[in-house]
């Protein structure tokens, strides 16, 4: 029986051992991205030209890319966000889009916490200073007792809020689409303006807007409590980076921890501010969660493929 062709376009994927065997039992692997880099649109067109299935990362599946792949039946994303995929075009072309929403939850939660603690405890500055012979100290801040505003109480936002609640934080949240019950001592905010104006720390865990415009812009930042700390491990498009830079300069935002940006890899002017801690979109990239995401991505396309052959 002829096996269905699959392209592995994600920039890093473990094709060894059990997972490799699992793929090869079901599919014919006709392309693997071994470059270590995110594929461009032209590269993606060539890579998936003869594929029925794709195991994808954060590369952009535009309308042009999708329309070029005449045989494509499903894209299985290793990760949560599908905003890099033109879902309207995919629906029109009857291409199924799958993701792995459960696997990254703990990893991203821990990364958000790590960014926050690094800011409060001045860890990057101390690490750099000591290595340069500077033993001077400045007081850090406690996490316990802080009011933390959570934007989006999905899987990750809810877990992050739960974790911070256990260490003595007061939780506020803004989520107009909330569908789950929350603890009675968490306080809802009616707007983003209210949330940023009443929180010491705001952490973003929301999906991007459909038009890609930021939810944290200059008008929102003007309402922020002075000295606000901002954490973003969700989507780069959620923050207007120019407005953030101006808010840093004005002292409205005292610090930020950012793992995602509007354009990646990030090379912009926020790099010059030591009070902004930056990581290169790696929040979900732990060995454990990565294995789980890859496993789930493969399981997803196997399930879709078997269903299509019934």
Give catalytic residue positions: 235, 264, 281
Q: What does the buried/exposed string (b/e) look like for 44-74 if buried means 16 or more CB atoms within 10 Å of the residue's CB?
A: bbebbbebbbbbbbbbbbbeebbeebeebbb
Structure tokens at 161: 């809020």
Token pair 């270590």 is at which residue? 36
Angstrom distance (rounded) from CA 249 to CA 271 = 13
Structure tokens at 289: 């969660």
Angstrom distance (rounded) from CA 220 to CA 46 = 42
Residue 79 burial (C-beta neighbours within 10 Å; 0-12, 13-18, 19+): buried
Cβ(86)–Cβ(80) under 8 Å? no
Question: Could you tell me which residues are beta bridge partners of residue 28?
Answer: 5
Structure tokens at 37: 């880099």
Angstrom distance (rounded) from CA 215 to CA 151 = 10
Q: Angle, nearest 10°, between helix axes 105-120 and 155-166?
A: 50
Residue of 180, 206, 182 whose CA lies nearest to 192: 206
What is each CA distance from 219 to 38, 121, 200, 246, 257, in whole angstroms? 34, 29, 18, 12, 20
What counts of helices (H) and strands (E) characterise the chain? 11, 12
Cβ(199)–Cβ(172) under 8 Å? yes
What is each CA distance from 38 to 61, 108, 144, in whole angstroms? 12, 21, 39
């Amino acid at each position: 029986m002829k096996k269905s062709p699959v392209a592995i376009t994600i920039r890093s994927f473990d094709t060894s051992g059990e997972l490799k065997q699992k793929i090869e039992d079901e599919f014919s692997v006709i392309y693997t991205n071994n470059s270590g880099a995110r594929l461009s649109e032209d590269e993606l067109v060539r890579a998936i030209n003869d594929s029925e299935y794709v195991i994808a990362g954060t590369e952009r599946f535009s309308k042009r890319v999708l329309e070029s792949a005449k045989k494509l039946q499903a894209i299985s994303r290793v990760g949560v966000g599908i905003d890099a995929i033109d879902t309207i075009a995919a629906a029109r072309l009857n291409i199924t889009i799958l993701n792995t929403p459960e696997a990254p939850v703990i990893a991203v939660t821990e990364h958000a916490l790590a960014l926050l603690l690094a800011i409060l405890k001045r860890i990057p500055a101390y690490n750099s200073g000591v290595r340069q012979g500077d033993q001077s100290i400045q007081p850090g801040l406690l996490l316990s007792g802080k009011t933390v505003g959570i934007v989006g109480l999905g899987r990750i936002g809810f877990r992050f809020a739960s974790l911070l609640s256990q260490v003595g934080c007061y939780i506020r949240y803004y989520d107009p689409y909330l569908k789950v019950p929350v603890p009675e001592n968490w306080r809802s905010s009616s707007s983003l303006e209210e949330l940023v104006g009443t929180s010491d720390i705001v952490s973003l865990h929301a999906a991007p807007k459909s038009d890609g415009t930021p939810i944290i812009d200059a008008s929102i930042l003007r309402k922020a409590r002075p000295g606000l700390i901002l954490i973003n491990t969700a989507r780069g498009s959620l923050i207007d980076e120019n407005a953030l830079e101006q808010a840093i300069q004005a002292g409205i935002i005292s610090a930020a921890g950012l793992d995602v940006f509007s354009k990646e890899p990030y090379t912009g002017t926020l790099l010059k501010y030591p009070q902004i801690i930056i990581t290169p979109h790696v929040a979900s990239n732990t060995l454990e969660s990565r294995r789980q995401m890859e496993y789930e991505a493969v399981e997803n396309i196997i399930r879709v493929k078997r269903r299509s052959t019934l």
